[in-house]
Structure 1
Amino acid sequence: MANEFNKYNVLVVESVDNMRATIARMLLQMGFKNVYQAKDGVEAISYLGSHHIDLVVSELTLTRLDGLTLLSHIQADLDVRPIPFVIISSIVEHSLVKQAIEAGISQYIVKPFTFLIFKERISRALNQPFAIHRQPSAVNAVANVSDNQPEAFSILVVDDDAVVRQSLNDLLRPNYQVTLARSGVEAFSICQRDPVPDLILLDIVMPELDGISLLTKLKDHPETSHIDVIFLSGEDSTHSIVKGFELGAVDYLVKPILPLELAVRVKNHVENIQARRQANQQIDQIYQTIKMKRDYAELLQNHLKNQLTLIAESATMIKKNVHHKTQVETISSIIADGSKRMKQLIDVILTLHTVEDDIYPCKPQKFNIVELIEEVMRVNLVSLNQRNLETLQVFDDTDIKVFAELDLSRSMFNVMFQYFIHTSPRGAAVKVIIQRTDDAVVCMFANNSAILESECRLAFERNTTESAIGNVRYGLYLASKIAEIQQLSIHLQSDSIEGTRLWVSMPTS
Structure 2
Amino acid sequence: MSRAWRELAVLVVDEVRPIREVIANQLRSLGIDHVAMTEDGAEALRLLKRQPFDVVICDWNAPIRSGLDLLAKIRANQPLQTLPFIMVTAELDRGRIEKAISAGVSDLLVKPFTVDRLESALQTALASRGKHHGKTGQAGNSEAVMSVVKPATDTTSEVDDRLTILVVDDSPSIVKVFHQLFSQDYRVRFAGNGAKAVMICQTDSPPDLVLLDVMMPDMDGFEVATAMRQHPQSAHIPVIFVTAMDSAEASLKGRELGAVDYISKPVMPEQLLLRVKNFMEYVRLRKLVQGNYDTLLETYRLRETMEDIVHHDMKGPLLTMVGLLRDVVAADNLSWRQIEQVSSIEQTAWHLLDTVNLSSELYKIEAGRFNLAPQPVSVGAILRRMVEGARVTFHSKHLTITVETDMPMGMPAPQVSGDPTLCYSVFNNLLNNACEAASENSQVSVIVRAAETSVEITITNSGVVAPEIRDRFFEKYVTSGKPQGTGLGTYSARLLTEAQNGSISFEVSNACNTTTLRVALPLWMDDLAGQIGQPADKSVVCPAAVARSAIVLAGQTASLLS
- Provide TM-score, normalisation by structure 2: 0.56
1:198 deviation in Å? Answer: 2.1
Alignment CA distance shift 1:185-1:208 (3 Å):
same
1:143 deviation in Å? Answer: 6.0
Partner of 1:322: 332
Partner of 2:323: 312
Q: Which residue of 163, 166, 178 corresponds with 1:168?
A: 178
Q: Which residue of 128, 148, 155 corresponds with 2:165?
A: 155
Verify: 1:245 aligned to 2:261, yes or no: no
1:14 deviation in Å? Answer: 0.9
Alignment CA distance shift 1:150-1:22 (3 Å):
farther
Unpaired runs of 5+ residues, structure 1, are 355-404, 409-509
Deviations 1:21-42 (A, max 9, x none): 1100011111124101111113
Q: Which residue of 219, 228, 245 corresponds with 2:229?
A: 219
1:288 deviation in Å? Answer: 3.0
Q: Is the 8 A contact 2:135 2:308 kept in 1?
A: no
Residue pairs, 1:79-228, within 5 angstroms: 80=80, 82-133=82-133, 135-137=135-137, 141=148, 150-228=160-238
Alignment CA distance shift 1:95-1:345 (3 Å):
farther
Unpaired runs of 5+ residues, structure 2, are 139-144, 154-158, 364-482, 487-562
Alignment CA distance shift 1:273-1:345 (3 Å):
farther
1:246 deviation in Å? Answer: 3.0
Alignment CA distance shift 1:240-1:341 (3 Å):
farther
1:178 deviation in Å? Answer: 1.5
Partner of 1:379: none
Deviations 1:295-349 (A, max 9, x none): 4444454425632441233212332x312559x94x8756544544655676799
- Provide TM-score, normalisation by structure 1: 0.61
What is the identity, as a one-letter code, of the residue corresponding to 2:67?
A: G
1:266 deviation in Å? Answer: 1.2
1:161 deviation in Å? Answer: 2.2
Alignment CA distance shift 1:103-1:170 (3 Å):
same
Q: Is the 8 A contact 2:116 2:204 kept in 1?
A: no
Alignment CA distance shift 1:135-1:17 (3 Å):
farther
SS in 1 for 2:5: coil
Alignment CA distance shift 1:343-1:42 (3 Å):
closer
Residue pairs, 1:351-362, within 5 angstroms: none
Percent identity over paired residues: 30
Alignment CA distance shift 1:285-1:151 (3 Å):
closer
Q: Using the alignment, how far apart are the partners of 2:63 and 2:152 within structure 1?
A: 31
Deviates more, 1:133-142 or 1:157-166: 133-142
Residue pairs, 1:359-378, within 5 angstroms: none
What is the identity, as a one-letter code, of the residue corresponding to 2:70?
A: L
Report the count of equivalent residues: 354
Residue pairs, 1:251-330, within 5 angstroms: 251-302=261-312, 303-304=314-315, 306-319=317-330, 321-323=331-333, 329=338
Partner of 1:392: none
Q: Is the 8 A contact 2:115 2:233 kept in 1?
A: yes
Deviations 1:249-307 (A, max 9, x none): 22221222111111111111221112111111211222233334434444454425632
Q: Using the alignment, how far apart are the partners of 1:84 and 1:200 within structure 2?
A: 34
Q: Using the alignment, how far apart are the partners of 1:127 and 1:71 within structure 2?
A: 18
Deviations 1:218-253 (A, max 9, x none): 222222223222111222333333332332222221
Alignment CA distance shift 1:347-1:407 (3 Å):
farther
Larger Rg: 2
Alignment CA distance shift 1:124-1:300 (3 Å):
closer
Structure with greater contact order relative to length (CA < 8 Å, sep ≥ 6): 2
Partner of 2:32: 32
Q: Using the alignment, how far apart are the partners of 1:134 and 1:34 within structure 2?
A: 30
SS in 2 for 1:195: coil
Q: Is the 8 A contact 1:142 1:284 kept in 2?
A: no
